[in-house]
Amino acid sequence: MKITVLTGLEKPDPKSYDVVADQVAAALTKKGHKASILGVYDDVSKLISGISRRKPDLIFNLLESFGGKSTAGDFAIAGVLDLIGVRYTGGGPGELYLRQDKGLAKKVLAFEQIPYPHFAVFSQTSDFETAGNLRMPLFVKPLTADASIGIDGDSLVRDTTSLMKRVIAIHEKIKDSALVEEYIEGRELYVGVLGNREPLALPPVEVDFTGFPEGEPRILGTKAKWKKNSAEYKGTKSVMADLPDELRARLQKTAIEAYRAVRVRDYGRVDLRLTETGDIYVIEVNASCYLEKESEFAMAAQAAEIEFPDLVERIVELAVERYA
């Protein structure tokens, strides 16, 4: 097939895209496809003309931001792809919007009776809305930002004064509403899911906080995810979770239920917390999750004996089947 890998640019430079685009293009080529990369920054007309010139059979959609903005880019571009009538992998505008609005996604989980932390949304423009009486400690993060933007050790609050300071900081610095949820103490696990009608849950991956700084809450914030010289980054690693079969099955079942509830297409990742008493809570559902070769999703696929080129090919097959 003729496949265009669509990716966002970090700046107006055609080569300023994430390395995952090259990795996916190489995997597609290895599987016999004719692959090209189209990077876009902030010009919709260039996006449309680039696709028109290439005339691909399928878009492998890796675009997560547009014009340097981390919000609204992915679901808006998915809408454009729908309007111009091209086939593409991953979530549509509705699924990607649900992924981004974490409060709305939790309401969907509530309807499906899937366990999640009780929460409240503190809007920038109106009073807060709550899903019940919240108990301290609370975890405060931006409602729509991803990649751990606006999350650090101070995101965990234990009194009302700290709560309001954190909410105001998110309003003023991130320019976003604040999602406040009860903090779930426990193990942090990721379950990748692959498929549509019959989704497959991959083996769970766990965040190992063994080397985390003493006294810091076990939270994957901005430092732990991106700042390679920080103690938080050096103190965490992703490992395959060591779990009894029954517990692993429950985690995978919950992940598939959450994946279906939010209508994820083709592939995604469900973030969960597991308490000492064995209770499972869905923290977040990521449609079209990060696909880099060293990511937790690719790591879990490899544990399931799915090598990276085969994983990419399977995502292509799922998208083609869906359109057929």
Find out whether 248 and 175 touch, Cβ atoms under 8 Å.
no
d(CA 247, CA 13): 47
pTM of the model: 0.91
The predicted-structure confidence for 91-124, as pLDDT tens digits, reads as follows 999 989 988 889 999 999 999 999 999 999 998 7
Pairing of strands 58-61, 2-8: parallel
Phi, psi of 12 (to 5 degrees): -70, 60
pLDDT at position 129, please? 61
The predicted-structure confidence for 228-267, as pLDDT tens digits, reads as follows 888 878 888 999 999 999 999 999 999 999 999 999 999 9
The predicted-structure confidence for 148-186, as pLDDT tens digits, reads as follows 676 877 888 999 899 989 999 899 888 889 999 999 999
Query: CA geometry: angle at 245 spanning 242 and 248, to 5°?
Result: 65
Got the DSSP string for 230-261?
SHHHHT-EEEE----HHHHHHHHHHHHHHHHH
pLDDT at position 308, please? 98
Going along the chain from its start, the domains and CATH numbers come out as 2-88 (3.40.50.20), 118-182 (3.30.1490), 185-204+241-323 (3.30.470.20)
